[in-house]
Amino acid sequence: MTRLILFNKPYGVLSQFTDRGSPAARATLSDHLALPGFYPAGRLDRDSEGLLLLTDDGRLQARISDPRFKLPKTYLVQVEGIPDEAALERLRRGVVLKDGPTRPAQVARIEPPALWPRTPPIRVRQSVPDCWLRVTLREGRNRQVRRMTAAVAHPTLRLIRWSVGDWTLAGLAPGYWREVTPPGGNDAGRRSGGRADVPRRGDHAASGPAACPVCGATSVAPLMETEGRSYWYCRACAARFLDPAQHPIAAEEHAHYLNHRNDPGDPRYRAFLSKLATPLMARLAPGSFGLDFGCGPGPALAAMLREAGHEVALYDPFFATDPAPLRHSYDFVTCTETAEHFHHPCREFARLRGLVRPAGWLGVMTCFQTDDARFARWHYRKDPTHVVFYREETFRHLAHRWGWDCVVPAKDVVLLRRPGGAEA
């Protein structure tokens, strides 16, 4: 019976099980996989990372590898410099390489994806910026993506293959694999007792994150695995969070957000936001200046605050991307239904704190997590873009560390006040 494996190949690993041609020992697939009879379907360079497919069926191996079937392959590519639209268009139309012109490709500039750190880290030049591209090809030449970006004067710094056809890297940390249903085959999960969706590293469980992404404490422990996702909790701040290796990439988040229907004129949505707006406005001086951070495509809260006589700037990494508002300070900053999306909450909260003036307020609205027994079934967890979950005690812990006041005026709402003097 045909079997198919998805493997997240780490940097520095050869896409083969043996290495007979090198005087120095190099890592191979056999260092990560004990799967007799499996062979890679396609290749991935030693200095590239990401999705590698393996199968025990020679016909399936040939079909996946054969360029005649034109399976799209998508790569996340960190490049040196910031390609302008002309460079991106050259990549899309095809560039001329030594072995001929490339076929048209899908190329877009994206926000930096939430990825595991590379070991060793990339070499960067402090004087030269870098950015990330999403590149989808329907051909496969030797080191093609690297040669393409070099041809437009933007060398590749890091390269991760994210998907091959409909198979993706989602939920797989480096060095881990899972078995999936092959095309036209039986459900591999049922054949293996329902465990095929769980990422595996050899026969050992995932080692997990080294520290809490909310408070930075190292006292983290496994919470549960459900629906192929691994969750952890922090003993210090009580936050629950998804394994960072399983975070969605920016393009997937953006596509999901476009399905939200948050109409600024909807009375029910306004009533929902009033849980934060009402207690916050009761504490603001007339004509205060604020920022709606993570305002989304329909900034209803900002509209409510403006109607009350306050001035409100907008910022959102997808829908209001002008960074100028992040260079000011404010009497108040709001963060409604946003903090649960933070891939790096410790860093994001540090940024938000820096935007709040002395004696100013940071208002956060997010659904508080209260019951681990219901966590797997909780609707909030099931949202694929929600990666961190807070308890009331999480915010009280953070406020104590910062030296800020903490008020919880209603369920799922916290108001944090910066001291009147210099920040602690």
DSSP 26-62: -B-GGGT---TT-EESS---TT-EEEEEEES-HHHHH
DSSP string for 386-421: --EE--HHHHHHHHHHHT-EEEEEETTEEEEE--SS
The residue from 124, 149, 180 where one domain ends is: 180
Closest CA to 144 of 273, 38, 60, 42: 42
List Cα–Cα distances, 189 to 166, 196, 227, 310, in angstroms.
17, 4, 12, 55
Of the chain, the percentage scoring pLDDT greater than 70 comes to: 91
HEC per residue, 118-157: CCCCCCCCCCCCEEEEEEEECCCCCCHHHHHHHHCCCCEE
Q: Which 3 state secondary structure label does DSSP give 13? A: strand
In a domain, 211, yes or no: no
Task: Kindly state the DSSP code that residue 3 receives in the 8-state scheme.
Answer: -
Same domain, yes or no, for 365 and 278? yes
pLDDT of residue 216: 86
List Cα–Cα distances, 155 to 46, 88, 127, in angstroms.
17, 13, 15
Same domain, yes or no, for 159 and 258? no
Maximum distance among all Cα pairs of the chain, rounded to whole angstroms: 75
Same domain, yes or no, for 282 and 168? no
List, for residues 119-165, the tens digit of each pLDDT value. Answer: 788 887 777 899 999 999 988 889 999 999 999 999 999 999 999 98
In a domain, 215, yes or no: no
In a domain, 241, yes or no: no
Same domain, yes or no, for 155 and 282? no
Q: Are 401 and 246 in contact (CB under 8 A)?
A: no
Q: What are 214's two structure tokens? A: 């909310």
Domain count, the chain: 2
Domain assignment of residue 157, given as a range? 4-180
Q: What are 423's two structure tokens? A: 């920040």
Is 19 tagged catalytic? no
Same domain, yes or no, for 257 and 404? yes
The residue from 158, 180, 202 where one domain ends is: 180
Q: Are 74 and 161 in contact (CB under 8 A)?
A: yes
In a domain, 123, yes or no: yes
Same domain, yes or no, for 264 and 164? no
Torsion 176-179-184-187 (CA) sign: negative
Same domain, yes or no, for 256 and 171? no
Upper half-sphere CA count for residue 279 (Cβ side, 13 Å): 22
Closest CA to 145 of 74, 85, 61: 74
Phi, then psi, of 78 in degrees rounded to 5: -90, 125
Same domain, yes or no, for 397 and 284? yes
Task: Kindly state the DSSP code that residue 262 receives in the 8-state scheme.
Answer: -
Phi, then psi, of 183 in degrees rounded to 5: -55, 125
Residue 424 burial (C-beta neighbours within 10 Å; 0-12, 13-18, 19+): exposed
Question: Under 8 Å CB-to-CB from 3, ≥6 apart: which residues?
Answer: 38, 55, 56, 57, 179, 182, 188
pTM over 0.85: no
Same domain, yes or no, for 135 and 20? yes
Q: Are 299 and 325 in contact (CB under 8 A)?
A: no
Q: What are 280's two structure tokens? A: 């916050």
Mean pLDDT by 10 residues, the chain (424 residues): 89 88 79 84 92 90 73 93 94 94 93 81 81 92 94 96 88 82 54 35 49 87 88 94 86 77 81 96 97 91 96 92 92 97 91 95 97 94 95 96 95 96 44
pLDDT of residue 421: 57
pLDDT of residue 184: 62
In a domain, 131, yes or no: yes
pLDDT of residue 247: 87
Q: Are 132 and 66 in contact (CB under 8 A)?
A: no
Exposure string over 311-336, b if 16+ CB within 10 A, otherwise e: ebbbbbeebbeeeebeeeebbbbbbb
pLDDT of residue 220: 87
- Cα distance between residue 90 and residue 147, in whole Å: 13
What is the CATH classification number for the domain harbouring 32?
3.30.70.1560
Same domain, yes or no, for 34 and 162? yes
Q: What are 384's two structure tokens? A: 């694929």
In a domain, 202, yes or no: no
What is the CATH classification number for the domain harbouring 286?
3.40.50.150
In a domain, 74, yes or no: yes
- Cα distance between residue 163 and residue 175, in whole Å: 16
Catalytic residue among 19, 31, 45, 130: 45
The residue from 151, 180, 209 where one domain ends is: 180
